[in-house]
Amino acid sequence: MSKPATVFDALMTRLQADSTLSGYVKQFLEGEREIDSVTQFPTLMVDYLGSSEEDDTYGVQRITMRAAIILVINVSAKEKQITGDTAAKGALDYLNDIKKAIDGDRTLGGTAIHTVMREDNFTTVNFPVRALTLNLEILFEQTESVRT
Question: For residue range 22-63, what is the model confidence (pLDDT) as tens digits?
Answer: 999 999 999 988 888 899 999 999 999 999 998 677 778 899
pTM for this predicted structure: 0.92
Q: What strands lie across the sheet with 129-143, from one edge to the other?
A: 27-30, 43-53, 60-74, 129-143, 114-126
Query: pLDDT by residue (tens digit) across 129-140?
Result: 999 999 999 999
**Pairing mode, if any, of strands 27-30 and 60-74?**
unpaired
DSSP characters over 110-130: TT-SEEEEEEEEEEEEETTEE
pLDDT digits (tens, 9 = 90+) for 92-136: 999 999 999 999 999 999 999 999 999 999 987 788 999 999 999
Rounded to whole angstroms, the Cα distance separating 70 from 121 reads 9
